[in-house]
Amino acid sequence: MTEAKTATLYRMALPDHLCPSGQKAKWLLESEGFTVEDHRLLTREETDAFKAEHGVATTPQAWIGVERIGGYTDLRKHFGRKVIEKGATTYQPVIALFAMTALMALAAAWVATGQAVSVLAAEWFVSFSMCGLAYLKLRDVESFSTMFLNYDLLARRWVPYGYIYPFAEGLAGVLMTAHVLDIVSIPVALFIGTIGAVSVFKAVYVDKRELKCACVGGDSNVPLGFVSLTENLFMIGMALWMLFKPAMMMG
């Protein structure tokens, strides 16, 4: 008979604050098959006394047997689960955005034409992605423009361009989604996409600089490189497609 696994957890549970990390720690231990001896610290005084007694700065704190593992992040490491450290580089935001815009494009094309996989779906994938990336920049234009100045060639010569860029990208994305005012969307996407592609290529592949990409906003931990280059190449490709599409369809 397998001996039951037990763990001891101390977590803060004040009347006005139930610690989220404590809840996650309890769930994680239980998901790993542990019976949790759950100790709730119900007041600030009780919490401070616990920290002082055990010489720790934060709660929750978990023990497995007599070994103190630590907080929620420490538990994840202990069980071999993925941990993204604060400030660490990650492609997760970009992967999530492109996955969602791809699914949105397929769903919208299905409703519009009865076919999910189509030219329209591909067009909408690019235009939806442009809108999504513009939104992430527009959440904090000031932070975006500051990060953008690290590598964009035009913004470094004319600072206001860093503030204009996300609005221009969003405008082009919306117009391309609606397939209207090509006379506006095509030059805008071609202009900002070309400058962006040249800027990224120079910074990363010529100057060999290691920078964070502003493509998903000013708080980004995405490394500058192929993601931002892909964003700009998407815009260039979409602009050229919209420009030559009538002739190609007629041909």
pTM of the model: 0.77
What is the model's pLDDT at position 1? 41
How far apart are the C-alpha atoms of 162 and 147, rounded to whole Å?
9
What is the model's pLDDT at position 225? 72
Collapsed DSSP state (helix, strand, coil) of residue 229: helix
Answer yes or no: is pLDDT of 210 > 90: no
Mean pLDDT, the chain, as a whole number? 89
Spans of all domains in the chain: 5-78, 92-250
How far apart are the C-alpha atoms of 11 and 251, rounded to whole Å?
69
For range 5-18, the mean pLDDT: 91
CATH 3.40.30.10 fits 5-78, yes or no: yes
Nearest to 93 by CA among 216, 228, 211: 216
Residue type, 226: F
Going 47 to 48 to 49 to 54, the CA torsion angle's sign is positive
Beta-carbon count within 10 A of 83 CB: 12
Nearest to 163 by CA among 179, 140, 191: 140
pLDDT in tens, 137-156: 999 999 999 988 988 999 99
Q: Where do we find the tokens 């190609």?
A: 248
